Structure 1
């Protein structure tokens, strides 16, 4: 993806969130230079927990067809899960555009609630996992939607209208997209690790390669290792 396109997507995404009543925290708007200064002084958690903007085209180079905008608001440490103490949770805001598919994947550790915060209809394609972790094409999937248990056939589509949610457990394969308009999604989960806990059915690139044709408006979490750790 070109950096100029990423900058444009960030501006559009912030405006879309605000139209639905969500305002991001101050660090969402720090320049790369201010972010570097603040991480070195009073905000190291942003780097350590990988908080901030995350825009991906899954390495396909066709963001309008395959892509997602994410902003990680808060995130604990994996070590906390073993003790049950401290921040054992994470929260994200995401935007999936109408006609934009997010590929089939699962998590091995993370349990997550996916919430339609506003916009169109959020559609999820659902499967269970076989013992080896691969997609189970046959067994029914049981999920909780706002405390109501739903049973779906393998591959059935679950539709969530604004205000509705689904709880996805480790091993629940899911792909998702928006219909009838872009969707603002919320995610409330256990500690999130996008580096090691995303398993896609088809090989994809979780983080996009960026062509630097413009100065970053704001850094992406995938920029941190090269822009911040190398100069911090």
Structure 2
């Protein structure tokens, strides 16, 4: 992706989130230079916990059709989990454009609530997985939606209107997209590690390759290793 496109997505996404009353934390709006200084002084958690802007085309160069906007508001680490102290949770805001696919995947450790926070309809396609992690295209899928257990057919679509949510366990293979427009999505989960805990059905990447055609407005979490 070109950096100029990333910058424009950040601007548009910030405006969309604000239209629903969500304002990002102050560190979101730091310039790259200011964020570097913040990390060097007292803000290393932002870098080390991968908090911040996250825009991905899954390395395929087709963001409009295969992509996702995310902002990680808070996150813990495996070390927190091991000692049972510190942040044991993560929270994100996501935006899925109309018919923009977040491709089929599951997680190894993460259980997440996916919440339609506003906009159009959020549609998920769900499968369960076998004991060795393979997508099971025949078995029914049991999934919790707002406190109600539901049983779906393998590959069935689950539509969530604004305010509705679903709890996805590590054994849930899932893909999702917006239907009828763009969707603001909330994600609340246990500790999240996007470097290691996304298992995709097809061999694709988690982060975008950035072409630096202009200066970054704000850094992406995928920039941190090289910029900070």
In structure 1, runs of 5+ residues without a counterpart are none
Q: How does 1:1-232 map to 2 (within 5 A)?
A: 1-228=1-228
Per-residue deviation, 1:31 = 0.3
User: Offset at 1:42?
Assistant: 1.6
- Measured in 2, the distance between the counterparts of 1:39 and 1:54 equals 18
Give the C-alpha shift of residue 82 in structure 1.
2.8
What is the deviation of 1:131? 1.3
Shift of 1:80: 2.1
Measure, in 2, the Cα distance between the counterparts of 1:160 and 1:13.
Answer: 21
1:85 Cα deviation after fit: 2.4
Distance 1:83 1:27 in 2: 27
Q: In the TM superposition, what whole-angstrom CA distance separates every residue of 1:6-25 from its partner, at most 9, and x where no partner exists?
A: 00000000000001110000
CA drift of 1:214 comes to 0.3
TM-score, normalization by structure 1: 0.97
> Which deviates further from its counterpart, 75-84 or 169-178?
75-84
Counterpart CA distance in 2 for 1:117 and 1:36 is 32
Q: CA deviation at 1:79?
A: 1.9
Deviation at 1:132, TM superposition (A): 1.2
Secondary structure in 2 matching 1:74: strand
1:142-174 deviation line (CA, Å, top 9, x unaligned): 111110111101100000000000000012100
Aligned mates of 1:82, 1:162 — CA distance in 2: 36
Equivalent-residue separation in structure 2 for 1:147 and 1:78 (angstroms): 28
Deviations 1:184-208 (Å, cap 9, x if unpaired)?
0000000000000000000111100
In the TM superposition, structure 1's runs of 4+ consecutive aligned residues that sit over 3 Å from their partners are: none
Shift in Å, 1:84: 2.7
Q: Give the aligned length.
A: 228
Q: Gaps spanning 5+ residues in structure 2: where?
A: none
SS in structure 1 of the partner of residue 217 of structure 2: coil
SS in 2 for 1:12: helix
Deviation at 1:211, TM superposition (A): 0.3
- C-alpha RMSD of the superposition: 0.7
Q: CA deviation at 1:134?
A: 0.9
